[in-house]
């Protein structure tokens, strides 16, 4: 059998695949993006697939029993969850259900998780789908403080918070009058009170234009539609304010001093169709002056939209003609940009062209100068715009002055030097901007580096989240796994260290030093007001409402028989009294579609109607003890 028969392409075919991907993607855009095809240079030309990891890379392997150096917290795309990997091994450490339901932990099953996810009047979940793209951490002193992670849901415009000590989602908020909440970033400091040098705000970019409010008006007149940039209080997870803009938001970045947030805009045209969105030669990166927006909110200079009470400040150009009072600054950048990333030194934001082969470097000092009326044009804040390759999307940094941008069309990662790009922009023809291009497999979206979005960027690892793996792994049917490729960037040359598979679909993530993360070992029973203790355990009945209060301690539940009547509304609360770390029990109830776990000292509950008469074994699903299989109780429902 040759390699083709079993569906595995060999090396020679790999290069064919690379060429095909590059050409077909470029062709699809031909006609609208002539410049893009024309600029393909030697360095960007298709090459063969990169080989297996090099020798030195192999030494990075984490032997059995050894722990990884880093955590990677990554989004899961339309899987709706967040994931935790160990790096460099790529071991999956945890999958954190957020917007999806998960029957391992009972996310979307228990009353507690449903209360976080949001329910309809009948108690069922409002949404069961999610689309997570971006995970960012909370900061203190310009680096991660290990407190929270925040993750977006593009499909239903929700922001979720994950506690890093338990690595569980604890709050979700839905953004009003926003559709397609895509980019998200935490702030790192208060713009005014510099003593608040930690995260108190989360910024959320709204991508899709919609009627405001979206209640059926203006359906046939998209010129009246708009998009909002939202600010959420990180502590309370309530909306602080929104800012209406011209064009749209895509991704978001923030400055270390808390004064600026920015979002790249690919639809400055405010268009409703593909050609319209690609009409302008340049789009923009819109900067928000946080201090001014909040001053307007404080002064009552805002409107509200529809039934929402959230203050909405006008950030459109027409309302912001004087830079000295403007809340927004629209800096023109390459066509249909995707991605805006802050350099770890806090000086620059880099916005990539996507349909332009360029990355635009914007100096924050100059943006502030524009807001102070000291810079003529917003475009004057641009200090470099190197040509780096085809389909540039996201940029990561090594903390040594180099940037790494994913090239979607070229299926490469390009390493370039920011200072050299600035020198070239000033006219230095000898400046060597491009340092190296490396093939990745294939069509990379996000890349992100170890501690790369903090002042502690250490330049050790770069992850390339690729949208296609194609021939990198054994085929598993029509849908292939995607690849997360780990690249060692600590030396002079980039080295591919490992391919990790990813279940659809890798977007953004962060790589965090392991010492930053401090997890809890067990829960505190007192944190649960509904905890079941020996004094209140048992069955309590009020009419047809029955509360079953159950305890678990390996290898038994506190009641061998639980008897209710058909038609009862049963609330089952289970507290795990085991105190040993990781001694988790499950609670599954056949026919009733109930399945969840309780960790040591944790309490969870479910409410359901006992609408099937009969005997049902309530059993432990989580292997906890030699007598795990014996850990079960009879749930009897009298007809």
Judged by the rule CB under 6 A, the positions of this chain that interact with ligand CUA are 554-555, 585, 620, 622-625, 628, 631
Site for ligand CUK in 528-547 (CB under 6 A): none
CB of 359 to ligand CUA, least distance (A): 53
Q: Tell me the closest approach of the beta carbon of residue 61 to ligand CUA, in angstroms.
A: 34
Of 106 and 445, which has the nearer Cβ to ligand CUK?
445
Q: Which of Ca ion, ligand CUK, ligand CUA, none lies near 628, with the C-beta cut-off 5 to 8 A by kind?
A: ligand CUA
Return the one option of ligand CUK, ligand CUA, Ca ion, none that residue 172 interacts with (CB less than 5 to 8 A, by type): none
Q: Which is nearer to ligand CUK, 75 or 450 (CB)?
A: 75
Out of ligand CUA, ligand CUK, Ca ion, none, what residue 336 binds, judged by CB under 5 to 8 A for its kind, is Ca ion
Binding partner selected for residue 604 from ligand CUK, Ca ion, ligand CUA, none, CB under the kind-specific 5 to 8 Å limit: none
Which one, of 73, 59, 49, 83, lies nearest residue 497 by Cα? 59
| CA distance linking residue 454 with residue 615, whole number of Å | 57
Count Cα neighbours of 222 within 13 Å in the Cβ-side half-sphere: 11
Q: Closer to ligand CUK at the Cβ: 166 or 501?
A: 501
Question: Could you tell me the smallest distance in angstroms from the CB atom of residue 555 to ligand CUA?
Answer: 6
Q: Which residue carries 């924050």 as its tokens? A: 364
Q: Which residue has the tokens 């993750």?
A: 151
Per partner kind, with CB cut-offs from 5 to 8 A, the member of Ca ion, ligand CUK, ligand CUA, none near residue 211 is none
What is the distance between the alpha carbons of residues 567 and 611, in angstroms, rounded to a whole number? 5
Cβ contact 265:285 at 8 Å: yes
Name the binder of 102 from ligand CUK, Ca ion, ligand CUA, none, CB < 5-8 A by kind. none
Task: Please choose which of Ca ion, ligand CUK, ligand CUA, none residue 445 contacts, taking the beta carbon within 5 to 8 angstroms, the exact cut-off set by kind.
Answer: ligand CUK
Least separation, in Å, of the C-beta of 248 and ligand CUA?
Answer: 50
Per partner kind, with CB cut-offs from 5 to 8 A, the member of ligand CUA, ligand CUK, Ca ion, none near residue 134 is: ligand CUK
Binding at 283: pick from ligand CUA, ligand CUK, Ca ion, none (beta carbon under 5-8 Å per type): Ca ion
Please state whether beta strands 632-638 and 561-565 pair in parallel, antiparallel, or not at all (unpaired).
parallel
Single out the residue of 508, 568, 578, 602 in contact with ligand CUK (rule: CB under 6 A): 508
x/- mask, ligand CUK, residues 352-391, rule CB under 6 A, reads ----------------------------------------
Report which DSSP code applies to 356.
S
Residues 494, 333, 199, 182, Cα dihedral to 10°: -90
Site string for ligand CUK, 473-502 (x = CB under 6 A): ------------------------------
Q: Shortest Cβ distance from residue 295 to ligand CUA (Å)?
A: 56
> In the window 109-138, what residues touch ligand CUK (CB under 6 A)?
133-134
* Positions 174 through 203 that interact with ligand CUK (CB under 6 A): 182
Could you tell me which residues are beta bridge partners of residue 172? 160
283 near Ca ion, rule: CB under 5 A: yes
Burial class (CB in 10 A: 0-12, 13-18, 19+), 462: buried
Partners of residue 198 on adjacent β-strands: 140
Query: Cα 161 to the chain's mean position, in Å?
Result: 11
| Least gap, CB of 578 to ligand CUA (angstroms) | 9
DSSP labels for 440-497? -SS-EEEEEEBTTTSTT----EEEEEES--GGGS---SSSPPEEEEEEE-SSSS-EEE
Gap between the terminal Cα atoms of the chain: 62
The least distance separating ligand CUK from the CB of residue 442, rounded to whole angstroms, comes to 13
> What is the C-alpha to C-alpha distance for residues 359 and 340, in angstroms, rounded to an integer?
10
Burial status of residue 126 (CB atoms within 10 A of its CB: 0-12, 13-18, 19 or more): middle
Which DSSP category does 375 fall into?
A: S
- Decide the pairing of beta strands 509-513 and 70-75: antiparallel
The answer to whether 31 and 38 have CB atoms below 8 angstroms apart is no
Of residues 509 and 586, the one with the C-beta less far from ligand CUA: 586
- The residue whose two tokens read 């000291």 is 374
Distance set, CA 213 to CA 139, 173, 180, 181, 248 (Å):
34, 18, 15, 16, 16
393 binds ligand CUK (CB under 6 A): yes
Minimum distance between the CB of residue 574 and ligand CUA, rounded to whole angstroms? 11
Using CB under 6 A as the binding rule, the residues of this chain from 415 to 454 that contact ligand CUK are 445-446
Nearest to Ca ion of 283, 578 (CB atom): 283
Per-residue tokens: 68: 């990884």
- The residue (of 336 and 552) whose beta carbon lies closer to Ca ion is 336
Size of the site for Ca ion (CB under 5 A): 5
Residue 399 gets the label, from left (phi > 0), alpha (psi -120 to 50) or beta, of left
Residue with Cβ nearer ligand CUA (110 or 132): 110
Maximum separation of any 2 CA atoms in the chain, in Å: 87
Give the whole-angstrom CA distance, residue 21 versus residue 42: 17
**Among the listed residues 101, 263, 320, 336, the single contact to Ca ion using CB under 5 A:** 336
Per CB under 6 A, the list member of 167, 189, 251, 637 interacting with ligand CUK is: 251
> Which residue's CB is nearer to Ca ion, number 35 or number 555?
35
Question: Tokens at residue 534, please?
Answer: 């020996």
Which backbone phi and psi does 474 adopt, to 5 degrees?
-55, 140
CB 385 within 8 A of CB 399: no
156 is a contact residue toward ligand CUK (CB under 6 A): no
Smallest gap from Cβ 538 to ligand CUA, in A, equals: 20
Closest CB to ligand CUK among 311 and 339? 339
Find the DSSP H helices in 342-443: 364-371, 418-425
Nearest distance from C-beta of residue 22 to ligand CUK, angstroms: 17
Q: How far is the CB of 576 from ligand CUA (least distance, A)?
A: 9
For the beta sheet containing 328-333, the strands, ordered from the edge strand earlier in sequence to the opposite edge, are: 252-254, 260-265, 283-289, 328-333
Which residues bind to ligand CUK, rule: CB under 6 A?
Answer: 133-134, 182, 251, 338-339, 393-394, 445-446, 507-508
Which residues bind to Ca ion, rule: CB under 5 A?
Answer: 266, 277, 280, 283, 336
């Amino acid at each position: 059998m040759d390699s083709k028969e079993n569906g595995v392409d060999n090396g020679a075919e790999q290069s064919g695949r690379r060429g095909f991907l590059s050409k077909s993607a470029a062709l699809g855009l031909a006609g609208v993006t002539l410049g893009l095809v024309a600029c393909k240079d030697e360095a960007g030309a298709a090459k063969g697939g990169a080989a297996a990891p090099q020798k030195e890379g192999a030494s990075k392997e984490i032997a059995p029993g050894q722990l990884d150096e880093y955590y990677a917290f990554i989004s899961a795309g339309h899987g709706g969850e967040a994931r935790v990997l160990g790096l460099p091994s790529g071991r999956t450490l945890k999958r954190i259900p957020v917007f999806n339901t998960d029957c391992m932990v009972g996310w979307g099953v228990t009353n507690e998780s449903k209360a976080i996810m949001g329910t309809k009047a009948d108690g069922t979940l409002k949404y069961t789908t999610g689309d997570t793209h971006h995970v960012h951490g909370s900061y203190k002193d310009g680096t991660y403080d290990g407190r929270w992670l925040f993750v977006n849901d593009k499909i239903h415009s929700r922001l979720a918070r994950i506690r890093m000590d338990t690595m569980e989602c604890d709050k979700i908020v839905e953004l009003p009058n926003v559709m397609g909440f895509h980019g998200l970033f935490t702030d790192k400091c208060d713009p005014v009170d510099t003593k608040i040098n930690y995260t108190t705000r989360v910024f959320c970019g709204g991508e899709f234009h919609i009627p405001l409010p979206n209640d059926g008006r203006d359906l046939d007149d998209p010129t009246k539609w708009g998009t909002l940039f939202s600010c959420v209080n990180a502590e309370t997870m309530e909306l602080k304010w929104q800012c209406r803009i011209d064009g749209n938001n895509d991704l978001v970045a923030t400055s270390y001093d808390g004064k600026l947030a920015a979002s790249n805009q690919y639809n400055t045209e405010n268009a409703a169709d593909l050609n319209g969105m690609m009409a302008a030669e340049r789009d923009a990166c819109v900067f928000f002056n946080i201090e001014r927006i909040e001053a307007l909110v404080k002064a009552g200079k805002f409107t509200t939209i529809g039934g929402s009470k959230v203050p909405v400040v006008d950030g459109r150009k027409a309302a912001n003609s004087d830079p000295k009072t403007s809340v927004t600054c629209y800096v023109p950048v390459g066509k249909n940009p995707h991605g805006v990333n802050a350099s770890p030194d806090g000086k620059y934001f880099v916005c990539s062209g996507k349909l332009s082969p360029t990355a635009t470097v914007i100096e924050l000092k100059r943006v502030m100068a524009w807001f102070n009326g000291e810079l003529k044009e917003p475009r004057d804040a641009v200090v470099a715009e190197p040509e780096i390759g085809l389909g540039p999307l996201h940029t990561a940094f090594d903390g040594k002055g180099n940037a790494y941008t994913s090239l979607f069309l070229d299926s490469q990662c390009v390493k370039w030097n920011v200072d050299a790009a600035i020198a070239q922009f000033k006219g230095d023809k000898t400046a060597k901007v491009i340092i190296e291009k490396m093939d990745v497999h294939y069509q990379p979206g996000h890349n992100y580096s170890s501690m790369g979005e903090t002042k502690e960027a250490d330049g050790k690892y770069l992850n390339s989240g690729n949208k296609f793996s194609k021939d990198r792994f054994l085929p598993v049917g029509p849908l292939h796994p995607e690849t997360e490729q780990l690249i060692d960037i600590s030396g002079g040359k980039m080295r591919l260290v490992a391919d990790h598979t990813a279940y659809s679909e890798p977007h953004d993530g962060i790589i965090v030093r392991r010492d930053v993360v401090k997890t809890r070992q067990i829960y505190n029973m007192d944190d649960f007001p509904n905890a079941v203790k020996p004094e209140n355990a048992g069955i309590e009945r009020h009419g047809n409402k029955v509360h079953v209060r159950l305890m678990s301690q390996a290898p038994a539940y506190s009641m061998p028989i639980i008897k209710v009547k058909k038609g009862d509304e049963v609330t089952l609360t289970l507290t795990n009294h085991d105190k040993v770390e990781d001694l988790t029990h499950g609670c599954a109830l056949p026919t009733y579609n109930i399945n969840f776990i309780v960790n040591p000292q944790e309490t969870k509950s479910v409410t359901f109607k006992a609408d099937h008469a009969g005997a049902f074994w309530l059993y432990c699903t989580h292997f906890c003890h030699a007598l795990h299989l014996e850990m079960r109780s009879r749930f009897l429902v009298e007809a």
